[in-house]
Structure 1
């Protein structure tokens, strides 16, 4: 499955993408609506050729017609926000239910708590972790596997970013500085004693937020921060994504990918980077692989291979669900992180004040990278250690996971078996101010 671009930096557009004007978004909506009758016909046809009473259903022709109808419907529909589907977990060998509820909310984000209904007393309090999900096109449900891996041993909270087309313009704009403010407010609302895990793109605003809190001697500063595959300094081992942003410059993105939300969405007339254009960029990065995957879906539908069909549906239901990004946030992120490299150069500011990571002294730091990451190259996340000299050597760790790409840094079997135990050990060590017990591939202090 094509997962290299999954959960990466704020999505860029492919070569040859058109100049986007406001009418194009309206035309997209009209084209999508115009296909509704065709989708209704194909749905009816699919039902007809899957009806066991229809003699054609059991023939190669009938199965092919039903498969073609499903492919048409799936490739022309708009995919909504996926469900979390995390109704239970296992704590100390006992299955317990999980309730997902919002504990803090503002127009552009909700803070969700995965409340484990534990009935037996725990031997020790579970570490409380705030997972900061990327605001980079896909929904926070992209990190379902990340949350699932932490649930047995942690009290998990996650940022659930809003689709910008659903936020009325009366709620105001949202940029990178607002993002930092949101993180600080969340940490205050959670009342301290928190560990923060930033997955990819949020690494920069998390470092900024912690720097601001440390500069203000904020008592709610987190115990630790873990940065996973984050673009802290994209000058190190730059990838094609980094090079594309730097070569084109911010004005190209402003002129080519920003448009206004059309009627009838609640955010009508809000400036956004629309989800459908992001999806175009995602797809064209690996067009051949996506086409092969859908050819395989057709063949498996005809053969009746339910397991492979279900895997395809599960992956693409998540992959094709995208949201609009606020234009101010997207452009500021591309400019400051990928073009100007403001944080590592010491040029980043927040509300007119310098963002200085060298102020960080009470927060333990762990950075995690994937050996084969083609989104955030090796060394880009590790660069954080050089920016935070006041963190003691025994409270900092850098780990490189062998044999994984970007997606494998925060999901998959190696994430569950090798990365999560190290993060857990690091958090426990940070809370007790001891050296981590697990051996890591490389410590930044060495």
Structure 2
């Protein structure tokens, strides 16, 4: 009989302990959905369910923390009918996607083994992400590292490959990872779940920032949080929750964004997080506050982030944390100064950020150029605004970024008082040329 070996770093551990490591995180699907909905603690969730009961016609009833703890255990009991109504109401997800198994399904084949003729769309992230429990170590112990290698390659490709081309590949990679989870146990499964969570985070980033599909991104972040919970990786969980805060923040739902950021900070403390990681969460808060019309609060958050970067910490950022730097913080700051009406400061900050930006960060370059153009519109300098907008369009022709194009469209709206000038007409010719228009419609 073959014995499967597992490793924790260089240390050999028995299969029994590896199985305990796999099962220790409990019902991660319910936990992830709870946290994504903004309930950072079991007590907060219990209070919310108790308060919601009368509003949906269930009368006065109390849901205890003990009950939440049972639902988030490795073997959660099937909730009774009124509890199901509460859970679905609070989390806006079907009960079947919250980690519960109906008693009448116990005798049916596992979902990971059930044949299905219905195939998801090639570009779609797996819906619901029912994380399969391991059945046997069919895959070799190297499967987690092998899957991670592809995830790392996607991480690098994001900065140069067209998002419409990369997203289907990343989505298919997440689908593969989901299938492999059912065939992997122990440490290999944990490595696989970590890489799957990163892949789902990347898919959500593309959906939100590059393709402007916030609803799809929101659902993808829930699945990413489920995978991070399976991996028991608090820093990945913090990164996912902070990214999820952008969605209500950009929709000007400030309280919901703040709740997700509080959850992100809680996870970051468990990491522990590096100074750069903590500063990035401050930067996310600043952008959400700016979008919600509170630029002064945003500037305070940015000042706090700058202090953190100056102080530093002994902790290092994870390898997948590639989307933030002091230059990017300066770009956040310049945009906030612009929205606060501090145009001279915004011009200086954004100009310095553009000069310091590495050559391979084309997506961020288009955003900074768009903000510089907006500064010149505010200062009533249409020629300079058009020059920055034209440079941004040059960059977007190389690396498409929906967020950057949004900046240019906002600039063009601001240029309407100078619509009859030659520079604005040239910008219109470029902005509404055949190729640009068709590309925008396709994307």
**TM-score, reference length from structure 1:** 0.24
Greater strand share, structure number = 1
Taking CA–CA contacts closer than 8 Å with sequence separation of 6 or more, which of the two structures ends up with the larger relative contact order? 1
**TM-score, reference length from structure 2:** 0.24
